[in-house]
Structure 1
């Protein structure tokens, strides 16, 4: 694997949007493909994918508001709704009528919400280890509370003290093997977390995530999955912490016509851990006649 910025050679970084300021790392000139990171993340979550995806699409990895180097508006009680508004603002400001969406974890929650509320703005949908679904009792294996609490505690520790050690522990939660967390990735995230405005905003985001604060109010009831009307790929990983491949398969069963693919030997960041496989599967899906 190359370094983040060696992988991103040929991309451009811009701040776009009208109502919201959105940092975008992008490559390519085809149909738009917007890539959404998870909670506490940033556009570099897709640094190993943007260039290759950009060979066929206008691949746009973004920072969600309150994250990375995007805008820091006052926090709302409806964070997911604000993220949806941000993406629509980005599309409108660029004159994009419809875009493909891939969302990882929180990003999948946002992308799924947008597809349900504004299906006319979404081409195809990739749900990558997605979060945010409210399961009926007994529908899937219960997600262990310890995994969610561990992520919350590591997230808040990294914000309280954005040191190489605390940031590395937070990133290791995402990977099937700790050695996949590079020193460069730690340094990029540490610098983002140490930025005072980002630090303040992410603290509020974390306090309203992981089942606490206002986050649970926006969860999507499993019955709503039957209402998805755009072609969908559910992308999972064998070692996804807390919710295994059975959960991904269940999502694919409930979304009409959805495909399912499970990446072996990966956890919560298959696009980083297994970029070749991720990109091949996503590109094949986007090019299909679904």
Structure 2
């Protein structure tokens, strides 16, 4: 696949690539991760959709921002720049974790650009958003943090069966400034009072055993977004879309097929 670039409002290069044919589907990764986040499952979607995977600023092949800084609202505007560069007026959007927070702002502030909206393992932030416990956050600090993060993403049985590279544990190419920027953007996300403005058909997916983003966030999103559908994947942790790929991808594909761009 070939990397392409769009220009954000502040001139920062936003890298992306396009795989597949059909209605456009934007794929948005989690905090401090590049578009490689989607590699293990992307073919599930590119078989039916024109998938557009984006490197948020500070990750992958995208640049680091200037005065615009880091925020989930800014990330959403950068996605609009990618759509403009491709000449795509409207696309489906699937965002997971912090990518789901970005997707919320796309649906709120750029409603005309969003077809079907899929929010995975994410939070509305603000007054109703739930965060990981102090114990969970502490586990990510220090030399054992990588192993702890792996355990938050996947069940022990899945880890035991799948030796090799993990795509959801962070982008090693990021600068410390970018990592801090992403953390603050995710922690500062607050769409709580704005989600009533979402008009896109919406699917919310979440693992029942997600300690990184507690499952109550999924229920809160469904309460805030009119008509939103909820799918809870029993036993899944944060990276439900990879470990429970067969179920999760099928749910997303069925939902998007019921809501074509028209």
TM-score range, shorter chain: 0.7 to 0.9
Task: Point out which structure has higher relative CO (alpha carbons under 8 A, 6+ apart).
Answer: 2
Map 1:137-148 to 2 at 5 A.
143-148=132-137
Distance in 2 (alpha carbons) for counterparts of 1:260 and 1:270: 14
- 1:172 equivalent to 2:151? Answer yes
Which residue does 1:258 correspond to in 2? 228
Structure 2 unaligned regions, length at least 5: none
TM-score, length of structure 2 as denominator length: 0.85
Which residue does 1:269 correspond to in 2? 239
Map 1:194-205 to 2 at 5 A.
195=173, 198-205=174-181
- 1:220 equivalent to 2:191? Answer yes
Structure 1 residue 241: deviation in Å?
1.0
Structure 1 residue 169: deviation in Å?
4.1
Structure 1 range deviating more: 258-267 or 175-184: 175-184
Q: Secondary structure at the match of 2:232?
A: strand
Which residue does 1:115 correspond to in 2? 107
Q: 1:13 to 1:184 in 2, by over 3 A?
A: farther
Task: Output one character per residue of 1:231-263: Cα deviation in whole Å (capped at 9) or x when no partner.
Answer: 000011111115443431232132111111011
Kept in 2: contact 1:176–1:239 (CA 8 A): no
Q: Which residue among 87, 91, 94 is the counterpart of 1:95? A: 87
Q: 1:148 to 1:199 in 2, by over 3 A?
A: same
- 1:18 equivalent to 2:7? Answer yes
Q: Secondary structure at the match of 1:204?
A: helix
Q: 1:285 to 1:134 in 2, by over 3 A?
A: same
Structure 1 residue 179: deviation in Å?
3.4
Kept in 2: contact 1:106–1:132 (CA 8 A): no
The count of aligned residue pairs is 255
Which residue does 2:249 correspond to in 1? 279
Which residue does 1:82 correspond to in 2? 74
Q: Secondary structure at the match of 1:17?
A: strand
Distance in 2 (alpha carbons) for counterparts of 1:226 and 1:74: 32
Task: Output one character per residue of 1:5-37: Cα deviation in whole Å (capped at 9) or x when no partner.
Answer: xxxxxxx14132133433334321211111111
**Which has more helix, going by share of residues?**
1
Distance in 1 (alpha carbons) for counterparts of 2:74 and 2:131: 28
Task: Output one character per residue of 1:67-116: Cα deviation in whole Å (capped at 9) or x when no partner.
Answer: 12222223645522221121011000000101111111110111001110
Map 1:25-104 to 2 at 5 A.
25-74=17-66, 76-104=68-96
